[in-house]
Amino acid sequence: MSHAHSDQFVPAEDIVQLGHPVLRQEALAVPLEEISSPNIQGIIAHMKKILATQRDGIGLAAPQIGVPLRIFIVSGKVLLPPDERLELTTGKKKKTSAQIPDDLVFINPEITKFSKEKKWMEGEGCLSVRWLYGKVERATKVTLRAYDEHGKPIERGAGGIMAHIFQHEVDHLNGVLFIDRAKDVEELPAEEREAA
């Protein structure tokens, strides 16, 4: 895997959309000694800020803000009970950021185990592929190895929505988008489009 000095990357102000070449690049590993640098910490902070503007956003990979590095984050909303998460992502309820757990950060992630069991998950979408949704076959459980934002190695088993997000986000770091794997892709009607 190639490494890069990360100071050459300037994050985009908005989430980049399908057609931008960065979404199709193999993202570069973050040198471990750079995780604590103002540069990488700034990129992570920027990712959190952008994700927080997306009501229906539950994960974001660095290429989605124009930075081809192997970093993704998962919204703290995902750690809430499913009914509370749905109320937030569908806009039925608003919570202040103080009531939402911190976002999770994964650097140089690698899925080390996929369950044999797979399932066609409905309604997968992407903040960089507005406004398409489709069914994607995903492993129901995975194990992910990565480093957190302090550079500490972590290993995390996940099922349910977390397993689903891990697979979607690691795909992003390999230049793969859900539409490459999806079937029954549909466009959300204009009147139902509301990101923030």
Active site residues: 169
- Give the C-alpha separation, 74 to 39, whole Å: 20
47 binds Zn ion (CB under 5 A): no
144 binds Zn ion (CB under 5 A): no
Using CB positions, name the residue nearest to Zn ion: 126
Between 102 and 180, name the residue whose CB sits nearer to Zn ion.
180
CA angle 140, 144, 149 (to 5 degrees): 135
CB of 128 to Zn ion, least distance (A): 5
Between 16 and 31, name the residue whose CB sits nearer to Zn ion.
16
Pair of tokens at residue 8 = 């050459």
The CB-side HSE value for 65 (13 A sphere, CA atoms) comes to: 25
165 binds Zn ion (CB under 5 A): no
| Site size toward Zn ion, by CB under 5 A | 1
126 binds Zn ion (CB under 5 A): yes
CB of 154 to Zn ion, least distance (A): 21
136 binds Zn ion (CB under 5 A): no
Between 3 and 181, name the residue whose CB sits nearer to Zn ion.
181
Sign for the pseudo-dihedral over CA of 58, 52, 78, 47 = positive
Binding site residues, Zn ion, CB under 5 A: 126
